[in-house]
Amino acid sequence: MAHMTLVRHGQAQSGAQDEASYDRLSDLGHQQAQWLGAHFQRTEEHFVRVYTGTMRRHIETAESMGAAQYGEVIQDPRLNEFPYFSLEKAMQDQHREPVAQSREEFARHLPKTLDYWAEGRLEGVDESFEAFTSRVTDVIAEIAEGPGQALVVTSGGFISTVMQQTLALNTDGWARMCLAIFNSSTHRFQSLLDRPILTQFNGIPHLEGRDRQHARTHI
């Protein structure tokens, strides 16, 4: 039975208005990843396979974690995030939805954006809903077929989509799951009857303690 640990990247450049500006870790993001790597060493985690997306924030997170100690780090673009900034622009241009300026506005904006995307109501976006969800399904199935424990560094939207597929969530539940995921959090799955089974959600043991409360970030 395959075991997968999915890790959301460390904090990126919050406040960015486009993918290129967002796609690198902040200083805190590097620290979060370093703490997670140290936690894995203390608990003697033994990963035999390591995967990341091809986004800079994924690669930097894996590097700051020291993930290469477990073996070759395989980069796979299917592990990349959904095209949020493209979706946001389409919502603004096609449906007059203003860009979210706060976490509260983002929490209201995201469910509607995902719903419109899933319904095919956003034209000219960088990736269709069907293409995104298909690649999530395909790459998770491939990783699940491999032997031993796999470490997978990806993004919150990708992880929440695995949750959505695993738990059969509706779009609102999918969006709420996405909003809940901490930077550098861990999410564990086992493969059973060719399907992923959730065994841990949003683990942040490396951020426990009063001195690390400031590092429990979502954006």
What's the pTM? Answer: 0.94
E-strand ranges in the chain read: 3-8, 49-52, 73-75, 149-154, 186-192, 195-203
Could you give all domains of the chain from N- to C-terminal order, each with its CATH number?
A: 6-12+19-82+127-215 (3.40.50.1240)
The arithmetic mean of pLDDT across residues 2-13, rounded, is: 94
15-24, 35-44, 60-69, 94-103, range with the lowest pLDDT: 15-24
**pLDDT exceeds 70 at position 2:** yes
Are 163 and 201 within 8 A, CB to CB? Answer: yes
Among 66, 42, 71, 46, CA closest to 148: 46
pLDDT in tens, 172-217: 999 999 999 999 999 999 877 767 789 999 999 999 999 999 999 9
Q: How much is the pLDDT for 106?
A: 84
For the chain, the helix, strand and coil percentages under 3-state DSSP, each to the nearest 5: 50, 15, 30
Give the confidence band of 63 by pLDDT, cuts at 50, 70, 90.
Answer: very high
Judge residue 138's burial from the number of C-beta atoms within 10 Å of its C-beta, 0-12 exposed, 13-18 middle, 19 or more buried.
exposed
Among 161, 69, 153, 148, CA closest to 114: 161
